[in-house]
Amino acid sequence: MKQKIAITSLSSISALGSDPAEIWKNYLLGKAFITQKEFNGRMQPVAPVSESIRKELNELRHSDLKYKALDETVLMAVLASREAVNNAGWKTGENFGINIGSSRGATQLFENHHKQFIQTGKTATLTSPTTTLGNISSWVAHDLKSKGLAISHSITCSTALHAVLNAVAWLQSGMAAKFLVGASEAPLTDFTLAQMDALKIYSKEQDEFPCRALDLEKKKNTMILGEAASAACLEIGKHDNVLAYIEGVGYATDNLEHNISISEEAKCFQESMKMALQHTPIEEVDAVVMHAPGTIKGDLSEYKAIQKVFNISTDSMQNQLPMLTTNKWKLGHTFGTSGMLSLELAIMMMKHDTFIPVPFVPNQTPERSIKKVLVNAVGFGGNAVSILLSK
């Protein structure tokens, strides 16, 4: 890293809530925030936002006539971005860049418009502008009156961390001094869950922990979808209000061996982690927040990559360096937003110097302070990103 990049604010909306104190309290609870809801005529486990958050979204929708036609991905992004910018002390109308993406985009709205088209042969006037991916950052820029550029993209489940990569590049180039980054995802629809069912990766469990992310002994895939949005403020240099510094970034892409999976030892993760750690001795990394989607191959391949990078030869997690965790067992897989929620967990663990274990994974007793955390994300196509954070 040529210059220090500070994360001066991070906000999120997920099944864990939207207030940082509430989110941390819920992380400390050894339970999952997953519920059963009906999709396609049967009950399935999902991790939705709370009714109080949905009320806020509804109030936002009716606060401005132009917002009534927007998808929930946009509304969640606006709420998260408002909070992040306010907490960072940025002013409305400032010149800062925005890069907020989504894996799926305006899922709910697109499906509704398509259903209407199938039934009537016609669609609403604003279907096209309100269902494009660029729609998210554009409306956030409108809401915040930002004078900088606004970028949106989809790089599947690593979308949020790719937004961080973009911001780092812009900031270090001198083309921007501040950047708002993040992602938003509202994928809890009949069609989206049907797609995950078709891939045979969705959980059929209905017990206490229906998502077994990081359980390397599981015999079934247990991915579960959640909805969420998150935004973070990035700035060049040292700052008094810093939450964490970005010490390293890495990225890589696997050769496609299968449409939905990465290589057996996640070569993309090996390369992205090595790049992020190239100026840091591996023994200084205290924890890794894994992508770990809850699938058999996804979890195991990432674990094997960590073994390779950190020179771990044993299959036991006991006394390993670094400590390993994930949050998908608790709040579901939020597609493009998941990497940003992992960053939030890393920041909170460093702030409170408290490791958040996975309750059904043995031998996760922390034995050290948490000062540096590596965060991983990857999506369909093997496009991995690793971000190294420090206090």
pLDDT digits (tens, 9 = 90+) for 42-80: 999 999 999 999 999 999 999 999 999 999 999 999 999
For residues 168-176, average pLDDT: 95
Distance from chain centroid for Cα 332 = 10
Of 119, 6, 10, 31, give the one whose Cα is nearest residue 357: 31
Report the pLDDT value the prediction gives residue 228, as an integer from 0 to 100.
Answer: 98
Beta bridge partners of 250: 386
| Residue 7 near residue 234, CB atoms below 8 Å | yes
244, amino acid identity: A
Task: State residue 18's pLDDT score.
Answer: 98
| 47 and 225 Cβ atoms separated by less than 8 Å | yes
Helical ranges in 258-363 per DSSP H: 267-276, 296-309, 328-331, 338-352
Ranges of H-type helices in 67-126:
72-88, 107-120
Sign for the pseudo-dihedral over CA of 73, 28, 202, 206: negative
* pLDDT for position 329: 98
Which positions ≥6 away from 44 have C-beta within 8 Å?
36, 37, 38, 193, 202
Helix or strand run (H / E) with residue 10 = strand 5-13
Quick: pLDDT tens for 131-144.
Answer: 988 899 999 999 99
Q: Is the pLDDT of residue 363 over 90?
A: no
What's the CA gap between 302 and 305, in Å, rounded?
5
Confidence of residue 320 (pLDDT cuts 50, 70, 90): low
Q: Which two tokens stand for residue 271?
A: 């390369």
User: In this model, does residue 354 exceed pLDDT 90?
Assistant: yes
Residue 372 has pLDDT above 60, yes or no: yes
Residue 382 confidence (pLDDT): 82
Nearest to 214 by CA among 300, 335, 333: 300
pTM (2 d.p.): 0.95
Query: What is the pLDDT at residue 317?
Result: 47
**Which amino acid, one-letter code, is at 277?**
L
Q: Are 137 and 85 in contact (CB under 8 A)?
A: no
258 near 19, Cβ under 8 Å? no
Q: How many domains does the chain have?
A: 1
Q: Which two tokens stand for residue 341?
A: 């929620």
Average pLDDT, the chain: 93
The pLDDT of residue 366 is 75
Q: Which of 5, 3, 119, 7 is nearest to 348 (CA)?
A: 7
Q: Phi/psi class of residue 382: alpha, beta or left (left: φ > 0; alpha: ψ in -120 to 50)?
A: left
User: Which amino acid does the sequence have at 357?
Assistant: P
Note down the domain range covering 309.
5-390
Copy the structure tokens of residue 31: 């339970």
Question: And the tokens for 294?
Answer: 């809850």
Round to whole Å and give the CA distance between 79 and 90: 15
What is the pLDDT at residue 318?
47
Q: Using CA atoms, how far apart are residues 74 and 76, in angstroms rounded to an integer?
A: 5
pLDDT of residue 92: 85
| Burial of 334 (C-beta count, 10 Å sphere; 0-12/13-18/19+) | buried
pLDDT score for 113: 93
Predicted local distance difference test score (pLDDT) of residue 263: 74
Query: What is the SS3 assignment for 336?
Result: helix
Per DSSP, the three-state class of 297 is helix
CATH code of the domain containing 45: 3.40.47.10
Tell me the C-alpha distance between 340 and 177, whole Å: 21
